[in-house]
Structure 1
Amino acid sequence: MGSKYTKRYTDESKRDVIALVGSSGKTVTAVARELGISSESLRGCYRKAKAGRCEGTLGELSSAECEELKRLRRENREQQQTIEIPKKATAFFVKESDR
């Protein structure tokens, strides 16, 4: 449980305020002051929203495209690791056989 002084905001209200920060050109602190909310709370929500957003070179991606990009990057990373293991093993055995 949170403190009795902690305000809880709905996801919808958070999205609206974050959109306001992005579209208004004002700072997070200025928007928070206008709305009467904590600038630190708004800053934290804004950072989380920006971190979760996928932006490509051609603009923002849809959520489906973002998920596909994450999946493909994960698969690529796993394949690179799969390739590295035989390379290291080969180098080890070549070095051992030279002794």
Structure 2
Amino acid sequence: MSASRKQARPRRSSTADFEAEIVQRCRTGDRSIGQVARDVDLTETAVREWVRQAERDERDDGGAGGGLSFDERQELARLRRENRQLREDVGIPERATDFFAGETR
């Protein structure tokens, strides 16, 4: 790796409460998003996305045209997991049918 290239940060997870606290710090207006991000050792990109997501979540229109709200993202993730599981459940009998059909020929 070259000396001019930054090393990738490890991916970290955060709680909704922590993100809300960071968003509130950004909204007080006395520090920029970049300064808040540096204060807590986060990327400015992550903090900006948290602020944008909080704005979408607070809109009366449920985030229409601006992306999904937090609750909508949670539901979408749950539905995708459920869909993946159902596809796997359907695939097992199909594969078994194909296997046994092949043995009888």
TM-score for both structures, normalised by structure 2: 0.47
Quick check: which one's helix share is greater?
Answer: 1
Quick check: which one's strand share is greater?
Answer: 1
